[in-house]
Every structure is written in C-alpha cells, then in structure tokens.
Structure 1
Amino acid sequence: MKHVVDMSWTDKVAFEADMDGHKIVVDADKESGGSDLGYRPKRLMLSALAGCTGIDVIMILKKMKVEPEAFNVIVEADVTDEHPKHYTKMKVVYQFKGKDLPAEKLEKAVKLSEEKYCGVTAVYKKAMEMETEIRIIE
C-alpha cells in the first residue's frame, strides 16, 4: 500500500494539499514571508499524532463500552533553536472527562494505541523521546 499527498504551490510560500478529496493549506507566518493562510507544516506533525492516537483510543473505548463525556489529546513538543529546527521530545496528554470512568480501561486503551495501533507514534518513538500523561476530570 502507498499513501500519496499532492501539494500544489498557491501563493508566496503557501501550498494546498489534496488528501483523499480533503484540502489542507500550509503556509508560513507573515514574519517569515508567508501570508498566514494555513497550518504550519511542523505543527501538523503534532496534529497527526493527536489524531492517530485519539482515533485509536476512542475506537478501543467504544469496544470496551466506555464513552467519556469529553476527550482531548494534547501534544506538547520541544523544538530546537538551531536549523534544521526539529522536535526533540513530545508529550501526549490524554484528557478524559466523565463520571466514574474506569481508569484501568482508559490506561489500557492508551497503551494499546501507543504500543500496537498508532503508526505515527511508532515512527516518532524512533526519532525522539516520547512521554505520556493521562488526566481524568470528573
């Protein structure tokens, strides 16, 4: 199997990607010569991780018959000061909200995503330090 993304240059340093019929615009901020028309490419790496593991966790929890009131995946990343600027560490915070949520099932769902299902996590673990936190809000 192969995944393909076609990025088309649209303006100054902005590009538009077509992914399976969905459009994503990436651009730089105005200080860097862009028009601030879209996402910053490096930060999309954080979104890719949050989306990948978030989908896994919710799918696993649904199979376990656990449905939180709310669920957020927050990804924090440390970036180098020198070029090429890149991430050296990421912290993934899984934030669940709900009454009487079974902590052991939440932990199991997160562990399964991080160790078995999320391909983004698998790649990032090879490139940098990864940290996990689970927060439960009643």
Structure 2
Amino acid sequence: MEATVTWTSGMAFEAEQEGRRIPIDVPGPDGTSRGVRPKGLLLAGLGGCTGMDVVSILEKMRVPFEGLAVEVSADQSEDHPKVFTAIRVTYRFKGRDLPMDKLARAVQLSQEKYCGVSAMLGKTAAITTEIVVEG
C-alpha cells in the first residue's frame, strides 16, 4: 500500500492513493480550508474500515438492513504532539426488527479482529462503541 502527498500551496497538500486524489488543508489564516485535516482522514479511515467489516459480517449473517452511518469523534491531548486520547464510534443502523445481538457481534468482530485501523489507533487511544437503531 502506498500514498503520495504533494504540496500545492500554503499549507495545502494533495494526497494520491490508488489513482484517487484527496485535498488536505487546514482552516484559518494559514490554510485555505480547501481540504480535510490529516487527523480527520484518520477518523474517516477508521469509520470506513469498521463500516466495511460490519457490512460484510452482517451479509454473512444474513441480516438485512436499510442503511448504516458510522460516526467517529475523538478527543486530543493538550500538549504537542496532539494525539487522540479517546475515540468514540457510533454505528447508526436503519432498518426494522434488526437483531441487536447480531449487530453487536458484527461490531465486536470488527473492532477486535478485523479492522486494522482500529487496531492501530487503539494502541494510543481508548475506543468506545455505540449502536443506534433507527426505524
């Protein structure tokens, strides 16, 4: 796996990974606010990684659902380097009569066995999860 990050101007960069481009920048006077923040990309990566796991696991369990949104938020240390100290992952499922035990098992398997991003970030920050079912 590889990525190339190229400076474009000011504090702005462009990341390229597998032929896709992602603008990276900072808000405020030093940045142009034309991209996402680097640590935000880490949170998005966690959400995508665990979300893909959960969808795959639920498909194997034959649990139909109408939608899934994974919300990820984090607290950071006060001192530099500002690292994540706590990460919260909320899985918002849409569907009727969803079996909570199977949703919980899919989330647990993702967090404890399959999601490499969770495994990496979990070495520096406590990760907590919540499951919400809508509909």
Please give the alpha-carbon distance, in whole angstroms, between the structure 1 residues aligned to 2:88 and 2:45.
14
Shift of 1:110: 0.6
Please give the alpha-carbon distance, in whole angstroms, between the structure 1 residues aligned to 2:69 and 2:104.
15
Identical columns (%): 46
Residue 14 of structure 1: aligned partner? 12
Give the secondary structure class of the aligned counterpart of 2:64.
coil
- Deviating above 6 A after TM superposition, structure 1's stretches of 4 or more consecutive aligned residues are none
Please give the alpha-carbon distance, in whole angstroms, between the structure 2 residues aligned to 1:66 and 1:114.
19
Residue 28 of structure 2: aligned partner? 30
Please give the alpha-carbon distance, in whole angstroms, between the structure 2 residues aligned to 1:129 and 1:110.
16
The amino acid across from 1:129 in the alignment is: A
Match of 2:56 among 45, 54, 59: 59
State yes or no: 1:49 paired with 2:31.
no
State yes or no: 1:77 paired with 2:71.
no
**TM-score, L = length of structure 2:** 0.95
**TM-score, L = length of structure 1:** 0.93
Match of 1:118 among 84, 95, 115: 115
Give the secondary structure class of the aligned counterpart of 2:123.
helix
Please give the alpha-carbon distance, in whole angstroms, between the structure 1 residues aligned to 2:28 and 2:86.
27
How many matched pairs? 135
Match of 2:90 among 90, 93, 96: 93
Shift of 1:83: 2.1
